[in-house]
Amino acid sequence: MLLRPGSAGPDTVTDHVEVLGAAIAQVPARFRGRIMVRVDGAGASHELIDHLLKLASPRRKVLFTCGWMITPADEDAIRLLPGSAWKPGVDQDGNPEEDKHVAEITHLMSRAGKWPEGLRWIVRRTKPSRRHAGNLTAYEKATGWRYSIICTSIPATGIPGVPGSHHSRENRRHLMRAGGAYILGEKLRSAAPDIQAALSRQGRYRQVAGNMHVKEVRVDDAGDRMVICYNPEAATRDAAIRGQLITQLTGMIEGTDTLSATDRARLSGVISAKDGLKKFLKTTTSGLLRIDTARIRAEQRLDGKFLLRCGDARISAEDIALGYKQLLEVERGWRDMKQIIDLRPVCHHLEDRIRAHVTLCWLALLLIRITETATGQTWNHLRAELQRIHLGTFAGDHGTFTHRTQLTASHKHILKALDLAEPPLVISAAPATP
């Protein structure tokens, strides 16, 4: 992490090079012979890519992937791709992912000639979610896909010695050989045999902390331990959300049997753009729209659960679950600082001011966490409740006074949990002047 002035741009090459150098320096020397670098779209500059290419030497192999800002010229290249060029996307375990496809467009890129030889451009398309709907280009709206492109130096044959590049199992084995331990969150809906085997194992859950219940299961993947975590409150919440989605979907497809095949296909296309609804919709062989009851039963078995994989035999199942939960709390903290506290880039040029700004934001986050822990409620709910307390100023012939609204039972409960006294009913009063 590099402390920068608030006015620094996201594509400042000198900063990228400095952070990259510091990151590589943290890697033990014996592991620097093969380095894989991943950069987002801000790093798609000639200077940084040239620097990455120069890092490679006869004694060190450096490969990279870099995000890419799509221009109309790039969309023209995508437009030229034949349908057969698109291949199914796969997850880290090599399992196909529905509604995700990839293709190489290096030979169609008009901008490729301006970049060093040996680079490749890979395009990926996915079905857009609701939060992406407002940011789609005209071409994406017309095709019904959301596109992203990466620039990479990885050859078409992949990374030598690592089948499938970024392959999850290979990465885990490498970590274990290096003496490292890991805790990984797995996709419950993955078709990987070891995931399905772990979920099918019988056994009793053991309560470890609060609403957290854990069950350790053994699979045939030597050296890995699988821990299934279950939260009853989350299960209730998942079931309620699913019920709302099914009710909404039922209303959308009700009476569609009388529609034409074209109208039903058009409605199916609308639903397919809604992630929450499309997974519960199925189309019969005769083209009728129905609720997928088998998918509902499958989702019910996953309510309130998440699956963890650990490579350390010394850590207890309880510590695995609580360690991963702490990671989630850290991620939530960063999200809250950006969304709730509204931490945004600021134009401080002096280091003392930058540190003061970040420290104040961290103290605000600490205050939020203390409040949530003491009351057992989320900050969003607490803020909504406390904002209902209003202060009114009243003026009359005899003077002016400031009076607050009456506290509700919820307000009193919050103040009591925080060990705070109720604010006075009358804040100030001043007699009228002659």
Strand ranges in 212-335 using DSSP code E only, listed in sequence order: 212-217, 225-230, 281-283, 289-291, 305-310
What is the rounded CA–CA span in Å between residue 434 and residue 431? 9
The rounded distance, in Å, linking the Cα atoms of 22 and 407 is 54
What is the pLDDT averaged over residues 107-114?
A: 86
pLDDT of amino acid 162: 40
Give the other-Cβ count within 10 Å of 57's Cβ. 9
pLDDT at 164: 41
**Sorting pLDDT into bands at 50, 70 and 90, what band is 175?**
low
| Sequence-distant (≥ 6) Cβ neighbours of residue 261 within 8 angstroms | 287
The pLDDT of residue 346 is above 70: no
Query: Taking the domains of the chain in order of start, what are their residue ranges?
Result: 13-168, 169-231+304-325, 234-300, 340-367, 388-431
Do residues 65 and 93 touch, judged by C-beta distance below 8 A?
Answer: no
pLDDT at 361: 80
pLDDT band at 413 (very low <50, low <70, confident <90, very high): very high
For range 99-126, the mean pLDDT = 88
Phi, psi for 202 (deg, rounded to 5) = -85, 160
Per residue in 28-49, pLDDT (tens digit) is: 887 788 888 888 887 788 898 8
Helix axis angle for 379-386 and 351-375, nearest 10°, is 90
Query: Per-residue confidence at 192, pLDDT binned at 50, 70, 90?
Result: confident
All residues at 6 or more sequence positions from 154 whose CB lies less than 8 Å from its CB, including other chains:
63, 65, 120, 165
Distance CA 67, CA 81 (A): 20
Between 318 and 6, the higher pLDDT residue: 318
Residue type, 317: A
Q: Provide the 10 A C-beta neighbour count for residue 52.
A: 22
For residue 230, how far is the Cα from the chain centroid?
21
Average pLDDT, integer, range 386-413:
90
Q: pLDDT tens digits for 233-269?
A: 889 989 999 999 999 999 999 999 999 988 888 888 8
Q: Specify the pLDDT at position 372.
A: 87
pLDDT for position 343: 60
Q: Which two tokens stand for residue 4?
A: 């920068």
DSSP 257: G
For the chain, the C-alpha Rg in angstroms (whole number) is: 28
